[in-house]
Amino acid sequence: MPKSYCNYCSGLTNHEEVAVRATSGHDGHPEYPCEWGTYYRMLQCLGCETVVLRVDHWHSEYDMGDQSEFYPPRASRRPPLWMWQIPDGWRVLLAEIYTALQADSKRLAMMGARALLDVYMNDNVGDLRTFDLKLSALVEKGRITDSDKAVLVAALEAGHAATHRGHLPSDADIAHAMDIVENLLQRHLLQFSAEALAKATPPRPNKKQV
């Protein structure tokens, strides 16, 4: 029973091979004959029952090693469940960032994080001239605190470096940037959740009435 990484379970799980197909070819050179081929395996997770395609290549003259390809690609980070509750423009851009992460396109993911922060600020305080003005306006409106501003500056600077200076962020850099972006967007949702909760909560009774 093969083990494989499951994006939904976020770990290595037992899989069942539900289908397999193979292709092969060969070179008929009389002195240097060689063969090659590809196995296509449909694997189903025995936990969540999701299905993934694993592609394995082989060659008679070369050690292909562990070069399996997976479709959909292995996710380095799972999208948050609450992303479907944020405004459509934010959600679509966030989904594109996760697509870049799955393709291991770190620069594109970091650029996308920077763009999403910019869109968030424009939607909340308007398209001001600079990022600093936008951040200051967010503080004035009470959307973020001064300490939040310093955190967002770090994420924006990482995006600037990837966009304008060709900087290749590390996995840790990407994780930090995504933590910051997700935290900001989720707090936006929590504001509405807090308002709804406050309206649904009965007020404390007046002592005189009791």
Give me the domain span that covers residue 183: 81-200
Q: Is residue 91 part of a domain?
A: yes
Q: Are residues 63 and 85 in the same domain?
A: no
Examine the domain organization and report whether 190 and 128 are in the same domain.
yes
* CA 76 from centre of chain: 7
Query: Which are the contacts of 136, defined by CB distance < 8 A and separation ≥ 6?
Result: 149
pLDDT above 90: percentage of residues in the chain: 42
Last residue of a domain, one of 30, 51, 71: 71
- Name the token pair of 122: 């424009």
- Let me know if residue 208 belongs to a domain: no
Provide the token pair at 136: 């200051």
Residues 49 and 108 in one domain: no
Provide the pLDDT confidence category of residue 75 given band limits of 50, 70 and 90: low
Distance separating alpha carbons of residues 155 and 114, to the nearest angstrom:
7
Q: Quick one: 45 and 85 in the same domain?
A: no
Domain check: are 67 and 90 in the same one? Answer: no
> In this structure, is residue 207 part of a structural domain?
no
Number of domains in the chain: 2
Q: What pLDDT, in 10s, does the model give residues 120-133?
A: 999 999 999 899 99
